Structure 1
Amino acid sequence: MPKPFSYKIGIHRNQKVIFILFEKDSNLIQEVKKIQGSIWSQSKKVWYVLDTEYNRSLFNLEPLSYSLPSEEGIKHVQKFSYWLKSKRYSENTIKTYTDALKSFLVFYNTKDILTITNEDLVTYNNEYIIKNNLSHSYQNQLVNAIKLYFKTIQNISLELDKIHRPKREKVLPNVLSKEEVKKILEAHVNLKHRAMLSLIYSCGLRRSELLHLKSTDIDSKRNIVIIRQSKGRKDRIAPLSPKILDLLRDYYKMYKPKNYLFEGKTEEQYSEQSLQSVLKQALKKVNITKPVTLHWLRHSYATHLLESGTDLRYIQELLGHNSSKTTEIYTHVSTKSLQQIKSPFDDL
């Protein structure tokens, strides 16, 4: 690769990645785009690729084999994975938790895991997580994984009750105005693209919930959509508006999906990357430069419901939240009450 590039190992979207760093230059951007699997991060404003053996060799970085736990550590990771599977944890949780334990054991590669103490965890937090500017949420996941593992093997060296998670960041959800949502949903001429984005907003769906929907989950007689085994392995229902139902009928007549409601070219489940691309194209068409994600549509759905007078308890059910505290955050971004407050500046 050209000399102007430098590389940094990091974490992004709960994945180990290699950040590609360089001075902003159109020619260099074209070079990066040629790298197979390169992705632009809108939130971090940097290009990156997944941290794989191939990509490390491509950039002349230390091989992954040097960053593995000891042989004994690998056995601990495998044991943890086996236990998580037996408890029916989701595939994403299993991957996140085992990767977290693996990272911890790499850090203490030469230490017997049964001698690890609370002080070691504090050192790990300071020397790895904080030093590498990893997020509060990622640190929280790491602590959860390590606590859960040591609880399952009943390690007496670690005092689990004294392990504290980081203070939760108080971040407000990103919300679009109804006008912005309307522009995004109407941006595509393609009926499938319009139907996917519209269904996410009209029912407050998560990305994975939309992609796992099947045609049989749309109950047109009761005007509901059944969201099966979503986060927390819970089923729930959401109401379908007459407008979205008409849109879905037109879509079904044109595409006739076989299994999943939204399928790719080979009749398989529509991919997450393709869905992200659909949103990205819509934003470009309507000239919205905010770093909008699919989850912003879900946040906007909840906030607009609240502003129209829907009871918070119903919104909690519609979103599938376990705790009302999770849903209450939308009261902080709703402008309905704020708009009634008169600023003293107006009286000057």
Structure 2
Amino acid sequence: MDSPFRPGFGKSPPFLAGRTDALIQLQSGLEVGQWPQERGILMTGLRGVGKTVMLNHGEDLAAEAGWQVVSETASRGFFERIVGVHLPQILQRLRPGPAFRITGVSLASLGSISVEYPDGRTETPTFRGMVKQILDLQAGRGGLLFTLDEVSSASAAEIGVFAGEYQHLVREDAEVAFMGAGVQGEVKGLLADSSSTFLRRCAHVTIGMLSYEQTISAFQKPIVEHGRAASDATLEYLARAAQGYPFLVQSIGDIAWRATPDAREISLIDAETGHRKARRSMGAFIHEPALSGLSRVDRSYLAAMARDDGPSRSEDIRVRMGNVEPGYASMYRARLLAAGLIQEAGYGYVDIKFPYLREYLRNLIAANARLDRIDGLSLDAGFPPPPALD
């Protein structure tokens, strides 16, 4: 039987545990004739918590409600792709007719394309013009949803162009909606940019870690619904191993499911196998990409914290960094808090927030590896560590 777990980034699991509030916000933004704040949603969170999955679900909700969907990633040229590819394709689908050839794309003037028809006619429709045509063809049956993944300050200029055009449509009460998603620390930098007023006005949704109970459900429900079982002890181990982190839920669950696929029950040994193999993959898939965006001093701060088995005293960190000035250490503490890699743990204390990041850092330090690549995710309190693995 195929595994019900979906490891990997952006893959939608069959069960979205702990996301009820976020789903309600997504749904409320798709009511035709209503313009709640949720018509614009910006989802943030740590890498691997399921932001792209939520975007996928939002797109599905929109399609089911009769909306047209433009799905993009905020990489270079995304607005050009919207203007030159997505909108023309939707128009061609809604209004079948003579095939046309796009002969040029210009973003300097309201985002426009040059179109040539077989009979020699030419047109120069703009972004707003094409959107309005699509909405007219929708005839009140739905609107047009734009989704933008991997939002970050690297795309600030292009996001500003898109936002300027989109906001004209909003002022005209057009049936349009926007959902964006990005890594917590990267979005924070973008929101400080003067071109990001549009994003600051969006409803902000934080996609966080799962509680212990939600993590149990995230394992138990797919297992049971797909005809297998797991004991309470196995489910407890799985939850403790995943530490509320959705990426690990899917990765550990998938490996455990496949360990003995013909067995009626997923055993504790299967769960331990899933934990061991999934934890090894955290470095390449999660920790390295997350740390890659940090400065040398950011990484030094984390390395100083990794020496402790639990929360670190801020004064100890300052001394370990070379007895730097308190204000200097506090600046990097604030940066890592904003990025979501660490969390406050009482007055004068901070703790590493990301599952297994402490162990990863210690391994790098022990191997005299350069700490030039790392990223983090949150570890909720209340998850005792799983049994030690060799």
- The normalised TM-score by structure 2 is 0.26
- The normalised TM-score by structure 1 is 0.28
Structure number with higher relative contact order (C-alpha < 8 Å, ≥ 6 residues apart)? 2
